[in-house]
């Protein structure tokens, strides 16, 4: 009996420790990013770091660490991806939740699942071998690796997130809302766009925010199609995102301020993600109400 009690206690503590591990992991990530990220920001100065327009970390006499180009590129890129991805994703979600029949749903669902399952590096590779040459020839550029190409790739990558979350939100709209709308003489399309969509708006917004989170955090695909040059963002110019700034220089950045500055960029990205997550949580909670 006694051994049994001991085992019970041991297992109880084991499960407790497992539960705590998630908090420990989260805190470790946050603490490591802050410890390693703050020194460079201190050295450069917060304002110069966030709003400096020139990134020249290996300049021999006067290295400069301004990450405004990366921040703006990340914001523009994400915004562009949302602009293209949200209408397509939302319409697909409407189709799946309101218009489709089971047989077609299976096909579209499978397509969406596959879209979500394709590795980001494969998206980047197809972008590199199909989209980049296409953009170069269509717009007569020297190089097709531009912000525009990155936006196209990102907008495809966020489709599954938007579709899945908005579909659930649309399916959760009480049918009596729609029945009431039909009873008043509204057509199917009018009902969908004037009743169902407004009623599901916080869920749809959650899907969009989730897409934003994915777009702003994507590294590999973007690294292959965006040209990876630390320019201020322009649609048809090579650019560098926050994520790719880290990924492209970490392998050769010498220990010291250069490497520390990369950790500072990660810290900025982390802050962005935390804000996005808090917004997402608020939206989802509102949706539940």
Partner 1 sequence: MREKVKLKTTNSKNAKTGNNNDVGIISQKLPFKRRFHGYIMKGFIFFCVAFAVSLILFLIGYIFYRGLPHVTFSMLTSTPSLLRGTVGILPNLLYTVYIIFTTLIISLPIGIGAAVYLNEYATNRRLVRIIEFTIETLAGIPSIIYGLVGFLIFVRMMGGATILSGSMTLSILVLPTVVRTTQEALKTVPISYREGSVALGATKWYSIRTIILPSSLDGIVSGVILAIGRMVAESAALLFTAGAGHALITNYFAALQTGGRPLTVALYFYATEPGQWGDVSSTDVAFAIAAVLIIIVLVLNFLTKLLKRKLKKI
Instruction: Identify residues 54-93 at the interface with partner 1 (CB under 8 A).
Output: 87-89, 91-92
Minimum CB separation of residue 208 from partner 1 in Å reads 14
In the set 38, 72, 75, 108, which binds partner 1 (CB under 8 A)?
108
In the set 34, 58, 83, 122, which binds partner 1 (CB under 8 A)?
122
Q: Does 137 bind partner 1 (CB under 8 A)?
A: no
124: its two tokens: 């980047």
Minimum CB separation of residue 258 from partner 1 in Å reads 14
277: its two tokens: 């997550």
Q: Which is nearer to partner 1, 113 or 234 (CB)?
A: 113
103: its two tokens: 């047989």
> 10 Å Cβ neighbour count for 166?
30
Torsion of CA 93, 98, 99, 100, to 10 degrees: 70
Distance (Å, rounded) from C-alpha 37 to C-alpha 100? Answer: 50
Specify the stretch interacting with partner 1 by CB under 8 A; choose among 44-52, 59-67, 131-139, 184-192: 184-192
User: In a 3-state reduction of DSSP, which class is residue 65?
Assistant: strand
Site for partner 1 in 227-286 (CB under 8 A): 243, 246-247, 250-251, 262-263, 266, 269-270, 273-274, 276-277, 280-281
Specify the stretch interacting with partner 1 by CB under 8 A; choose among 47-55, 65-73, 133-141, 214-222: 214-222
Angle at 85 between CA 82 and CA 88, to 5 degrees: 140
In the set 147, 151, 204, 216, which binds partner 1 (CB under 8 A)?
216
Q: Does 19 bind partner 1 (CB under 8 A)?
A: yes
Helix axes 242-249, 68-94, angle to 10 degrees: 120
In the set 128, 165, 205, 226, which binds partner 1 (CB under 8 A)?
128
How many residues bind partner 1 (CB under 8 A)? The answer is 91
Provide the H-helix boundaries in the chain: 2-44, 46-51, 68-94, 102-117, 120-126, 132-139, 147-157, 159-171, 175-183, 188-191, 197-199, 201-217, 220-225, 242-249, 257-288
In the set 47, 53, 138, 194, which binds partner 1 (CB under 8 A)?
194
> 10 Å Cβ neighbour count for 202?
16
Q: Does 186 bind partner 1 (CB under 8 A)?
A: yes
Spatial contact of 233 and 222, defined as CB atoms under 8 Å apart:
no
In the set 2, 60, 117, 255, which binds partner 1 (CB under 8 A)?
117
Minimum CB separation of residue 57 from partner 1 in Å reads 16
Q: Does 172 bind partner 1 (CB under 8 A)?
A: no
Q: Does 179 bind partner 1 (CB under 8 A)?
A: no
Contact partners, residue 160, CB within 8 Å, separation at least 6: 112, 113, 115, 116
């Amino acid at each position: 009996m006694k051994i049994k009690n001991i085992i019970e206690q041991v297992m109880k503590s084991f499960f407790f420790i497992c539960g705590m591990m998630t908090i420990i992991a989260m805190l470790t990530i946050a603490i490591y990013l802050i410890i390693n990220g703050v020194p460079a920001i201190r050295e450069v100065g917060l304002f110069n770091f966030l709003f400096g327009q020139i990134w020249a970390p290996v300049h021999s006499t006067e290295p400069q660490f301004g990450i405004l180009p990366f921040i703006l590129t990340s914001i523009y890129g994400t915004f562009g991806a949302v602009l293209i991805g949200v209408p397509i994703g939302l319409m697909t979600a409407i189709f799946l939740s309101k218009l489709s029949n089971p047989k077609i749903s299976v096909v579209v669902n499978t397509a969406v699942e596959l879209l979500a399952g394709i590795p980001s590096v494969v998206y980047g590779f197809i972008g590199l071998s199909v989209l980049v040459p296409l953009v170069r020839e269509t717009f007569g550029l020297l190089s097709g690796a531009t912000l525009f190409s990155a936006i196209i790739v990102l907008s495809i990558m966020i489709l599954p997130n938007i579709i899945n979350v908005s579909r659930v939100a649309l399916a959760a709209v009480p049918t009596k809302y729609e029945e009431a709308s039909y009873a008043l003489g509204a057509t199917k399309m009018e009902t969908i766009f004037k009743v169902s969509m407004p009623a599901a708006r916080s869920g749809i917004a959650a899907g969009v925010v989730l897409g934003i989170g994915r777009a702003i955090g994507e590294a590999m695909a973007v690294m292959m199609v965006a040209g990876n040059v630390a320019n201020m963002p322009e649609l048809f110019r090579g650019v560098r995102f926050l994520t790719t700034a880290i990924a492209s220089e970490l392998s050769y950045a010498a220990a010291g301020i250069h490497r520390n500055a990369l950790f500072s960029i990660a810290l900025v990205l982390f802050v962005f993600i935390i804000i996005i997550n808090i917004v997402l949580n608020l939206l989802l909670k509102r949706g539940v109400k």
